[in-house]
């Protein structure tokens, strides 16, 4: 007979009914942490109580209350471990860097569930890493919230799936208060030891100086599905291939000193990277080299069915930067930009920049930007670029190609200085 899953049954759309409610029958032992002696009033540390629990095949329940931790708790040899506290708040001490829950870092755990906790980091000089989770397979981090700005020198969450066939899901992780720009900290990190598959679904990361979701060192697949990402520096979402970013909302509308280069989605390296069905809005930034950027180390990517609004001057909606090596042989058109709408009042620069990326394909684009001196698509140092089935209305040059030859097919191009000019894009695009 199959062993019950520790959490609710997945639905066909990738969501999960009652997913933050674990099934006790999936575990050999269920422990109420207060019955084990933990203080639920937040006055005495619970670390020693946790250390006394045999965590193998165990669900530890945290009843409603406040739980104080003054040190790292890292169970050794745990397998099938669940931590459940839907009304539990974790507090800590000043200047402690953590992690608080160190799960599998001494040897990856199999079958990890953490659900429902709130980490209260609102006091000054607090901001330890709340959870460091390292699994071989079956990780679920569900419905976890971090309250308060992280204002010490420490990154936020870290998750790794360290076996190629392993899977993990981080669902509804909320970190809306970000980090103090004095410290270059990250909201969530997926590290070099990640080689499996990890999905971030319906998460929120706001206002981190050094990346909101930082997943580009990962060798395995990282899929980002839905969620909101706002006002982080370096990148709000940063991935390398193979990865997918689907259905996310990225917004930059607050420029704080010390939060530099506010990119939306940074495609850092590798291939087989897809961005689709997403919405990006850039109103105010300290600086930014693009709402979506293809970094020098990226070999191939597809950006499609996405709407980008740029009101911040001299910020491209998409910039494919010069590759660091020779031309990619992954496919005929390494960079493909398809069915993308770009609008907004940004002036100067270009909506799309293609720099030394030969054989780029741009199709079914709608670009309407009327800020002063704004070009549509700017191509430099790239041969074999194809632009087809697109409508471009800008104040500058619709296609700024210099000496480069660009293949053109079925284009509507208009240059106008009037901000009230109508857009020639189809209404349904």
* pLDDT one-digit tens code per residue, 307-319: 999 999 999 999 9
Report d(CA 346, CA 329) in Å as an integer.
35
Using CB atoms within 10 A of its CB, is residue 101 exposed (0-12), middle (13-18) or buried (19+)?
buried
Residue with structure tokens 């929120």? Answer: 204
Answer yes or no: is pLDDT of 74 > 60: yes
Answer yes or no: is pLDDT of 12 > 80: no
- What confidence tens digit (pLDDT) does each residue in 33-60 have? 999 999 999 999 999 999 999 999 999 9
Contact in structure between 297 and 268 (CB atoms under 8 Å): yes
Q: How far apart are the first and last CA of the chain?
A: 51
CA distances from 77 to 5, 108, 174, 204 (A): 20, 8, 29, 31
Whole-number percent of the chain with pLDDT over 70:
92
Confidence (pLDDT) at 18: 47
Answer yes or no: is pLDDT of 15 > 60: no
Using CB atoms within 10 A of its CB, is residue 55 exposed (0-12), middle (13-18) or buried (19+)?
buried
Answer yes or no: is pLDDT of 9 > 80: no
How large is the average pLDDT for residues 85-100? 97
Contact in structure between 177 and 209 (CB atoms under 8 Å): no
User: Which residues are paired to 309 by β-bridges?
Assistant: 281, 343
Confidence (pLDDT) at 329: 73
Answer yes or no: is pLDDT of 10 > 90: no
Confidence (pLDDT) at 106: 84
Answer yes or no: is pLDDT of 280 > 60: yes
Lowest mean pLDDT: which of 100-114, 206-220, 229-243, 411-425? 411-425
Confidence (pLDDT) at 23: 84
Pairwise pLDDT comparison (7 vs 270), residue with the higher score: 270
Answer yes or no: is pLDDT of 287 > 70: yes
| Torsion sign across C-alpha atoms 197, 202, 203, 204 | positive
- Distance between alpha carbon 138 and the CA centroid of its chain, in Å? 20
| Torsion sign across C-alpha atoms 325, 329, 332, 338 | negative
- What confidence tens digit (pLDDT) does each residue in 183-198 have? 999 999 999 999 999 9
Tokens standing for 222?
Answer: 């990282």
Confidence (pLDDT) at 327: 60
Cα-based angle 370, 352, 360 (whole degrees, multiple of 5): 145
The total number of residues written for the chain in this structure: 429
How large is the average pLDDT for residues 369-375? 95
Confidence (pLDDT) at 402: 82
What average pLDDT is seen over the chain? Answer: 92
- Distance between alpha carbon 325 and the CA centroid of its chain, in Å? 26
Answer yes or no: is pLDDT of 148 > 50: yes
CA distances from 96 to 150, 157, 346, 413 (A): 11, 15, 43, 58
Question: What 3-state DSSP class applies to 251?
Answer: strand
Confidence (pLDDT) at 78: 79
Confidence (pLDDT) at 5: 43
Report d(CA 395, CA 401) in Å as an integer.
16
Question: What 3-state DSSP class applies to 306?
Answer: strand
Lowest mean pLDDT: which of 62-66, 209-213, 403-407? 403-407
Tokens standing for 54?
Answer: 């045999």
What is the phi/psi pair of residue 25, to 5°?
Answer: -70, -10
Q: Nearest CA to 417 among 396, 391, 392?
A: 396
Is it true that the peptide bond before 242 is cis, omega within 30 degrees of 0? yes
Report d(CA 378, CA 355) in Å as an integer.
8
Answer yes or no: is pLDDT of 1 > 50: no
Contact in structure between 42 and 165 (CB atoms under 8 Å): no
pTM over 0.85: yes
Q: Nearest CA to 201 among 158, 246, 243?
A: 246
Tokens standing for 367?
Answer: 């670009």
What is the phi/psi pair of residue 51, to 5°?
Answer: -65, -25
């Amino acid at each position: 007979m199959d062993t019950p899953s520790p959490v609710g049954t997945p639905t066909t759309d990738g969501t999960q009914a009652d997913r933050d409610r674990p099934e006790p029958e999936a575990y050999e032992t269920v422990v109420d942490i207060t019955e084990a002696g933990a203080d639920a009033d937040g006055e005495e540390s619970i670390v020693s109580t946790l250390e006394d629990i045999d965590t193998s095949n165990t669900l530890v329940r945290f009843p409603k209350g406040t739980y104080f931790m003054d040190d790292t708790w890292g169970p050794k040899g745990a397998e099938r471990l669940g931590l459940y506290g839907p009304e539990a708040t974790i507090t800590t001490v000043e200047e402690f860097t953590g992690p608080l829950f160190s799960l599998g870092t001494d040897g990856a755990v199999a079958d990890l569930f953490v659900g429902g906790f709130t980490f209260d980091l609102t006091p000054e000089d607090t901001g330890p890493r709340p959870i460091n989770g390292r699994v071989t397979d079956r990780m679920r981090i569900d419905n976890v919230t971090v309250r308060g700005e992280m204002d010490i020198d420490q990154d936020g969450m870290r998750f790794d799936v360290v076996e190629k066939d392993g899977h993990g899901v981080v669902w509804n992780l909320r970190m809306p208060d970000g980090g103090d720009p004095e410290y270059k900290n990250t909201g969530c990190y997926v590290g070099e030891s990640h080689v499996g598959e990890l999905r971030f679904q319906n998460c929120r990361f706001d206002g981190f100086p050094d990346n909101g979701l930082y997943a580009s060192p990962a060798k395995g697949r990282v899929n980002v599905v839905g969620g909101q990402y706002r006002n982080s520096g370096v990148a709000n979402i940063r991935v390398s291939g193979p990865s997918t970013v689907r259905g996310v909302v990225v917004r930059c509308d607050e420029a704080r000193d010390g939060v530099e280069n506010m990119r939306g989605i940074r495609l850092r390296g590798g291939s087989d990277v897809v961005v689709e069905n997403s919405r990006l809005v850039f109103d105010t930034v300290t600086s930014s080299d693009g709402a979506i950027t293809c970094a020098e180390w990226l070999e191939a990517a597809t950006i499609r069915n996405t709407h980008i609004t740029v009101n911040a001057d001299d910020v491209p909606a998409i910039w494919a930067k010069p590759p660091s090596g020779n031309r990619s042989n992954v496919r005929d058109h390494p960079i493909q930009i398809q069915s993308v709408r770009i609008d907004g009042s940004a002036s100067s620069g270009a909506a799309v920049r293609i720099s030394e990326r030969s054989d780029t394909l741009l199709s079914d684009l709608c670009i309407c930007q009327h800020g002063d001196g704004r070009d549509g698509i700017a191509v430099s140092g790239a041969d074999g670029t194809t632009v087809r089935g697109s409508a471009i209305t800008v104040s500058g040059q619709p296609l700024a190609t210099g000496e480069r030859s660009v293949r053109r097919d079925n284009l509507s191009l208009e240059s106008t200085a009037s901000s009230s000019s109508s857009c020639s894009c189809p209404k349904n695009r």
